[in-house]
Amino acid sequence: MTENKKQEFWRWEESSWKNPDIKWQDSGYITVGIDVGSVSSQAVIMTDGEIFAYGNVRTGSDSPYSASNALNFALKDVDMPEERINYCVGTGYGRVNVPMADRSITEIACHARGANFIYGPEVRTVLDVGGQDIKAIQCDEKGKVTNFLMNDKCAAGTGRGMEVFADLLGVSIGEVGDRSFQFEGEDNVAVSNVCVVYAKSEATGLLRKGHTTEQVLAAYCEAMAERIYSLVERLGINPEFCITGGMAKNRGVSERLMARIGLKAMKTRWDTQIAGAVGAALFGYSLCLKGKGRITQEV
């Protein structure tokens, strides 16, 4: 089997960030949340429940490696020894394979808790569209889950479906959102909103009939929005509403989805992809406060 070496349009940039105002030496509990997703992995380092630093990397074929890669990315500019960490929680699709984790917690619980932090306690509905699943979660003012559903059986509506389209159309994943609005003429072309395989063959047909790449992108973004909407609607839509995960960065889907829902999505200054890892680190902090942290010399 030969590896396909053509340009990979679905790729995106890895990143890291740190808060220059926090001195880890002065803090009490340092907790880490590592979210190993199917496509990306994030490590968030928190000092007493505040975000200190994070790294966002692509998930490789090996979960343990991806987890430590994310953590190293977060640690690379902060000059803090790994031994200083009081508690580490793994979450996400690869959560049972995070070697440095003290325990694992599901992404459902972590996303609700993380969204509560990065969007504020008024959040009631959290939609997370990940690379391989869609999670719709309702939570209370403490970020505790009250109702959830997760669809990881079918690729329709997930980031994976979008990757298939980015590749098919030769559009890089970061440009999908903008380009899906850049077309002239009719916007009445449509593709299946329930099956990526069928949508793909319909798209090929549309291109052959002379529709532009932008029109087909618009059709697929709309199909994704419809599909995601059907899941959210099942759970019931409670304002305030927020979108986490990579899809929040794709305005082609998120704006079409919010137009359907008829609400404005909450905004945050934080990277939406880190919500799960933030929640995991916060659970770590709660557990430390309960006296379950690792014993370190300073604390």
Partner 1 sequence: MLANYGYIDGSGSYFISIDTDKCDGCGNCVTVCPSGIFEVLDEDPNDPLRDGPVAAVVGDKKKKLKYECGPCKPVNGTPKLACIEACKAGAISHSW
Partner 2 sequence: MITAGIDCGAKNTKTVIIKEGHIVGKGKVLTGFDQTEAVLKSFEEALKNAGIRKEDIQKINGTGSGKSSIRIASDIVNEIKAIAKGGCYFFPGARTVADVGAEEGRAVKISESGNVEDFAINEKCAAGAGAFIEAMGRALETPLEDMGPLSLKSDKEIPMNAQCAIFAESEVVGLIHSKTPLPDIIRAIHDAMASRIVSLIRRVGVNNDVIMVGGVGYNPGFIRSMERQLNTKIHVPDHPEFAAAAGAAIVAVEEA
Residue numbers at the binding site for partner 1 (CB under 8 A): 105-106, 108-109, 144-154, 156, 192, 194-195, 198, 230-231, 234-235, 283, 286
Instruction: Quote the CA–CA distance of 242 and 3 in Å, as a whole number.
Output: 38
Closest CB to partner 1 among residues 109, 274: 109
- Minimum CB distance to partner 1, residue 108 (Å): 4
Q: Give the rounded distance of the alpha carbon of 270 from its chain centre.
A: 12
Q: CA of 124: how far to CAs of 107, 117, 128, 266, in Å?
A: 16, 12, 13, 11
Pick from 118, 93, 120: nearest CA to 104: 93
Q: Residue 188 binds which entry of partner 2, partner 1, none, with Cβ cut-offs from 5 to 8 Å by kind? A: none
Instruction: Quote the CA–CA distance of 57 and 74 in Å, as a whole number.
Output: 10
Q: Where are the alpha helices (DSSP H) in the chain?
A: 63-75, 107-119, 159-169, 176-179, 196-208, 213-235, 251-261, 275-289
Instruction: Quote the CA–CA distance of 225 and 43 in Å, as a whole number.
Output: 29
Q: Residue 205 binds which entry of partner 1, partner 2, none, with Cβ cut-offs from 5 to 8 Å by kind? A: partner 2
**Residues lying near partner 2 in the complex (CB under 8 A):** 1, 61, 132, 153-155, 160-161, 164, 192, 194-198, 205, 208-209
- Minimum CB distance to partner 2, residue 260 (Å): 20
Q: Residue 1 binds which entry of partner 2, partner 1, none, with Cβ cut-offs from 5 to 8 Å by kind? A: partner 2
Instruction: Quote the CA–CA distance of 58 and 37 in Å, as a whole number.
Output: 9
Cβ atoms of 35 and 91 closer than 8 Å: yes
- Minimum CB distance to partner 1, residue 179 (Å): 27
Instruction: Quote the CA–CA distance of 154 and 134 in Å, as a whole number.
Output: 9
Q: Residue 108 binds which entry of partner 1, partner 2, none, with Cβ cut-offs from 5 to 8 Å by kind? A: partner 1
Q: Residue 182 binds which entry of partner 2, partner 1, none, with Cβ cut-offs from 5 to 8 Å by kind? A: none
- Minimum CB distance to partner 1, residue 85 (Å): 19
- Minimum CB distance to partner 2, residue 1 (Å): 5
Q: Residue 196 binds which entry of partner 2, partner 1, none, with Cβ cut-offs from 5 to 8 Å by kind? A: partner 2
Pick from 173, 31, 55, 225: nearest CA to 113: 31
Closest CB to partner 2 among residues 3, 83: 3
- Minimum CB distance to partner 1, residue 289 (Å): 12
